[in-house]
Amino acid sequence: MTNNHAYDQLMSFQRQTEALSLVAERLGWDQETMMPSGSADQRGEEMAAMEGILHARRTDPRILDWIEASDPPDVAGRAQLRLIMRSYQRATKVPSDLAQKLAQVTSVAQGVWAQARANDSVADFLPTLAEVIALRREEAACLAQGGDLYDALLDDYEPGATAESIGAMFGRMRPRLVALREAVLAKMPPAALVGRFGEAAQLRLSRDLALAFGYDFSRGRIDLAVHPFSSGSASDSRITTRVVESDPFNCIYSTIHEVGHSSYELNIDPDYKLTPLGRGVSMGVHESQSRIYENQIGRGRGFTKFLYGEMKSRFDFDLASAEAFYAAVNRVQPGFIRTEADEVHYNLHIMMRFDLERALVRGDLTVVDLEAAWNERFFKDFGVKVDRPSHGVLQDVHWSVGLFGYFPTYTLGNVYAGCLWQAMNAAVPGLEGQLSRGDTASAIDWLRENLQRHGGLNSPRETIALACGFEPSEGPLLEYLEAKFGALYGL
């Protein structure tokens, strides 16, 4: 800490704000995992009340006075000021009653979506979705101040990114992804993993895999949720997973994915605890951690050799070799569900959602026409007709909770993960051999040292560039996918 009195006052105030924000986040975690189903309306009021308190703190006029009077001597202190000023400027553009209304409506909307999804009834969700979109458009208008509404929302999740830059990147990626998809699907698929895999055994394996990836259970836990997620930071970062007894990969890779998110938070420099620097710098960078844990490491030939042995010791199935298991893990096939998509198809799911939600925010697409637009686009992109809403427009939680602008950060995270994987392999000799023994220490240590510990110290693109030693681009990801699946399918 600096001796600068104004800076010390600011950081003391900010520490309390960060703590309250985590309390509000814990309410969200409880809602997804343990809250009684009849408590949704009250939880909405609780979330609105918390948002009112947080909004008042984030717009407190003393913040500007403290910032102007502060002169921290170190890079971290100056970064703290930059992030606090950014939060202040964004918060002061949004009226408190709108911020509270958004918190209340999206909290209730989550339950409405879950019930509509369970009933496969889009009509039950559309009025609530329309209200969420109207509120988010109103918020975006406050933030954009005459600029692009979607960019204003995207900036919440990936500061510095624009829909134009994301769209251009997607335009460069799509032809190579489609060409790879077509080449792979023209080949005979490998054998799938078939069997029944009990819930208790899957959950025991998921805990062991979390430990293998360095997850700290003294500061975290695993619970079940409809849509897996991670929550929290600093000394309390929790994850959830889900179990499908016919498909253990669902639980395995949901767990590894969320461990990547949570470990990022847990591995940030403890000096940044309860400060703006003490969180992941953006959702794109966050997603780079979950995706590199899940895909490049978790679905790689090395780690799946270890996983095959673990599975064979716990379950009964017919795949007779680690290589056959590796092929089954990476089996490419069109499917409805984004979170279950293979690496070849995954980004095509994101590109579809990006275009649809951008049209919704712009007003070019109404919620009444959303299901038809989704189904038409899905058939065009994947060649399969959506059979029911829970496999289509109702499958993701994001729009119900107002996360417009979030979806493109998934593919951006994949792009960043491709860059990090290239850099990691150049820096860590013998990596595949280590992973084949279930030893992730070198990989996780490299990520911790080069990226995770820095938290929000640098901008998102700077964070990746400093870790990799080169500017991020989609090239390394596409090269990785073409090499991996070209070898698997004999292209």
Amino acid at 279: R
Neighbouring-strand partners of residue 237: 232
Helix, strand, coil percentages, rounded to 5, for the chain: 70, 5, 30
Q: Positive or negative CA dihedral for 230, 231, 232, 238?
A: negative
Q: Packing angle between helix 343-362 and helix 149-157, nearest 10 degrees?
A: 140
DSSP state of 351: H
199 part of the active site: no
Can you give the three-state secondary structure of 73-125, one letter per residue?
CCHHHHHHHHHHHHHHHHHHCCCHHHHHHHHHHHHHHHHHHHHHHHHCCHHHC
Nearest to 445 by CA among 275, 273, 263: 263
How many CB atoms sit inside 10 A of residue 180's CB? 22
Would you state the structure tokens that stand for residue 397, as one six-digit string? 């939680």
Catalytic residue among 51, 139, 158, 258: 258
| CA 325 to the chain's CA centroid | 27
Half-sphere exposure of 486 (CA within 13 A, CB side): 11
Biggest CA–CA distance in the chain, Å, is 68
Would you state the structure tokens that stand for residue 22, as one six-digit string? 């985590």
| Cβ contact 407:129 at 8 Å | no
Nearest to 27 by CA among 104, 84, 95, 96: 104
Q: Is 292 helix (H, G, I), strand (E, B) or coil?
A: helix
How many CB atoms sit inside 10 A of residue 490's CB? 8
Neighbouring-strand partners of residue 238: 231
The tokens 């930071």 sit on which residue? Answer: 233
Would you state the structure tokens that stand for residue 168, as one six-digit string? 């251009």
Q: How far apart are the first and last CA of the chain?
A: 57
Q: Give the Cα separation of 470 and 150 in Å (integer).
A: 29
Q: Packing angle between helix 96-119 and helix 126-144, nearest 10 degrees?
A: 150
Amino acid at 180: L
Q: Is 223 helix (H, G, I), strand (E, B) or coil?
A: strand
Neighbouring-strand partners of residue 224: 241
How many CB atoms sit inside 10 A of residue 313's CB? 8
Task: Specify the DSSP element, H or E, that contains 240.
Answer: strand 236-241
Active site residues: 258
